[in-house]
Structure 1
Amino acid sequence: MGLERLSTQSRVARGFDPSVLVKFDDRTILDHTYSPERPGIDLDAAYDFVNSARTGVSDWYRERAGSDLPLGPPPKTELVPELKERLYAQDGFKRAVDTLFGGGSYEELKARGALSKQPWHNEITTGETSYTNSNDRVHVNLSPAHSYEMHANREGFVVPARPVSTDGIILTAPDSESDTGYVVLGLRGGGSYVNGIHTVAAGGLSVSKELKEGKETIQQAFERRELVPELGDRVNNVKSIRAIGRVEDWLLGMGSCTYVFQVDTGLSGEEITASWVTAKDAKEHSQLIFIKNNPRSIEEFVADNYKGMVENRTNRTPEERVLLHPGALGLALYSGMSSNDLRSLFKEGMH
């Protein structure tokens, strides 16, 4: 198997390397190319193999669950352990793993307890295979990836097509208490990382047909999929928006990369809140958090709320709120903090 699996120590070392924070200047143009194939790997064959594995357990699942096996969302919880074992035993599953990661990979991953935790999930997604940054131009190379590759990434393996996301540093208009306005964050609600603090408009890059064809930019995909759905229609006509940098997350993600946009809304905190409560994805956060928009206030907030590696648990209370690593990276990029500044705040262990 050709993939490297990082230890926690290695993840921390990479996580605070200076290269994880790349600031763009005001003139930087962000563009991309989507390549529909990955040399040396047959993603279509892997997809078909997983489909055959799913077919092999579909009758059993339908009889036990009373419904068809879903493609993505988790199936009935009580059936998951047996479902996984039945899928692991399917020839199609084994052949899919060996197709994606090389001959013998199924046996190696099985021995290391690193087989996909969601083997029913069969999807062709998109990852970043490389990027260049020169002469005020950042060019991102995107390629298809299989969901099993993303699962391997969660198990600590560095994958060739990295998960790629977009993130917004949302800014309000000034008011009587802050002549530079505020940075808007969110306290996560139900789902993953409950009561974790993160930038409010953030998520995996939404890859449309138009983006693949070069008719939609990464910024436009961010506005379409993250900005308006999470903050509401009032932010449809923002004062300005631009890419300010790229960050790499080796603590919460395994080398996942995020393109960060500064969004000057021209709206007051009250107007943003009123828009947020009507947003389609408002439930992703239980409340908004406003930090004064100046380096000192941002750095103090990070120092007070950042710990490092955070456990994804549903019983975290509001009193235990913690700043998630991707959010800390975005704030550091925006405020001018260095990776060493974040490293000095890192606390060992899971929090």
Structure 2
Amino acid sequence: MRPLVATIDLSAIIHNYAVAKRCAPGRQAFAVVKANAYGHGVREVVTALHEVAEGFAVASLEEAAEVRALHSEARILLLEGCFAAAEYQFAAQLGLDVVLHNARQAQELLAATLSRPLNAWVKLDSGMHRLGFSAVALREWHGRLHGAPQVAELSVLSHFACADERGSEVTEQQLEAFLDVLDLDFAQRSLANSAAILTIPAAHMDWLRPGIMLYGATPCADLTVAELGLRPAMSLTAQLIACREVDVGDALGYGGTWRASRPSRIGTVSCGYADGYPRHAPNGTPVIVRGQRVALVGRVSMDMLMVDLTDLPDAVEGDAVELWGAQLPVDEVAQAAGTIGYELLSKVTARVPRRYRSS
């Protein structure tokens, strides 16, 4: 069996959900489990949170159906809503909460014949300009949707663009825009993503939407996981599958992008970009071998990468290698590679076996 595994600590996810709840006492929370729970395994994560989470948030009807099969009672929020008129009947059968972010979705809901009314969330474009109604349009649609036979509860939500940047003027403006529509009669309100849960109490409202924080990566540009009291959930672990000596001037890997400036000892690791490790990770990206940091060297290949073991002479073939996890935060690897922890976690591919533990 190829020596590469993503070990998921489910107790860390439960802990991180509890952190979100402690930040906003009395509020309810949709645990965001889209994209296979950010690569951690939606079945296992929903099962782990079954007794504690009031709701779950997903991106598609397919994801919603999978969650509903695992939890018959929790509220399930369809974050982008329905993409076709016929989907509303399926959403009603599943008992979903659906987001409405444009006039077409709202019109199709009002035209639908449903087995039961849906909880509908109108989305305000408070300043991110990705999805949602303007404040004027939201007021108009509130009047048309409120009390409609297809609508059980009418609620409102929005999404922050810059909540990860503490003190952002954009965030303040978005919060003000959201508060400006709360004179309307809404059953529930939701605004806080992970960053806002942790740093913006005024945004907590009725329902929280913890996403990346559940999985133990930071949503804040200037705060680490440890500072936020979160626990990493995934450790991506491989092995040294070869060790070799190279001479001064020897080039490594595809394109020969790294050359030895000293007599060097190079280890080959059983992980590559087909497993989800970023191909664009540069020389010097940290990797853990025998509890010590070593540097990635050369281009990441499809199935392998290489590290400089020159300053770790005791390392041998068969030693464990942590690509990220408890000893090396995924956010640090992401920063070195010019991306974010969200992308690295969600891109761990299906060929990497997941193993689960509860402590």
TM-score, normalized by length of structure 1?
Answer: 0.25
TM-score, normalized by length of structure 2?
Answer: 0.25
The structure that has the greater radius of gyration is 2
Structure with greater helix percent: 1
